[in-house]
Amino acid sequence: MTAVAGRLDQRVLVLNRLWQPVNIIGLRRALSLLFRERASVIYADEGSHRVYPAAEWVSHSRANPPPESEAIRSPSLALRPPRIILLAAYDKVPRREIRYSRRNVYLRDNHNCQYCGRKFSDEELNLDHVVPRDRGGVTSWENIVTACIRCNAKKANRLPTQAGMTLQRAPQRPKWRMLMSASLTAQEMDLWREFLDVAPSGELPWKA
């Protein structure tokens, strides 16, 4: 099946055979897995989640045509885009290293300054070395925290204790599942909530 139009920029949540989230992939790759029978579609129907192998998903799409704006079109079919797929064979949870980056530190800390505890936008935040570089502090998940510009300036080149400041929590390397939940759109959060580690409020559940 070739998708000639549709929302190929949409993302699809991938669950392993045990219904645990293992990845988020593009729609094109999800369709490829589906039609090679490596995965089925999971679709919420009247409160419960049903599993549709490729052929049944095609039938379901024919019986319940998607809105034109969502359809993945081939000459003979308007397919409903899957938003969750279930892998047929894979039952592991991959261990992943989360790349250290400014953006990922902000996500880990939920955009909260780790000194004053308030939430800021990217432009109002900085990365702070808890142990300053000139005292041997390294750039690592365990020594870098999100800080607002004001707290960052106040702390300057000192240890938190010297500046009379306290960290909200000890910085740690984040877990992949947790960070995955942090970068979801509101719609994805809604669709995937019950499969992810997210609190009902949509807030990040920080597990220290």
Q: Which residues of this chain interact with Zn ion, rule CB under 5 A?
A: 113, 115-116, 148, 151
Q: Between 39 and 113, name the residue whose CB sits nearer to Zn ion.
A: 113
* Of residues 104, 120, 87, 70, the one with CA closest to residue 20: 87
Q: Between 27 and 148, name the residue whose CB sits nearer to Zn ion.
A: 148
Minimum separation from the CB atom of position 103 to Zn ion (A) = 19
Q: How distant is the alpha carbon of residue 137 from its chain centre?
A: 30
Minimum separation from the CB atom of position 154 to Zn ion (A) = 8
At 76 the three-state DSSP class reads: coil
Q: Between 148 and 184, name the residue whose CB sits nearer to Zn ion.
A: 148
C-alpha span between 80 and 65 (Å, rounded): 7
DSSP helix, strand, coil percent of the chain (3-state; round to 5): 25, 20, 50
Minimum separation from the CB atom of position 164 to Zn ion (A) = 13
* Of residues 179, 178, 199, 196, the one with CA closest to residue 188: 196
Q: Between 72 and 113, name the residue whose CB sits nearer to Zn ion.
A: 113
C-alpha span between 120 and 67 (Å, rounded): 38
Minimum separation from the CB atom of position 182 to Zn ion (A) = 20
Minimum separation from the CB atom of position 123 to Zn ion (A) = 14
CB 157 within 8 Å of CB 178: no
C-alpha span between 17 and 190 (Å, rounded): 22
Q: Between 145 and 151, name the residue whose CB sits nearer to Zn ion.
A: 151
Task: Report how far apart, in Å, the C-alpha atoms of 163 and of each of 64, 144, 172 are.
Answer: 63, 16, 22
Minimum separation from the CB atom of position 51 to Zn ion (A) = 47
Q: Between 51 and 116, name the residue whose CB sits nearer to Zn ion.
A: 116
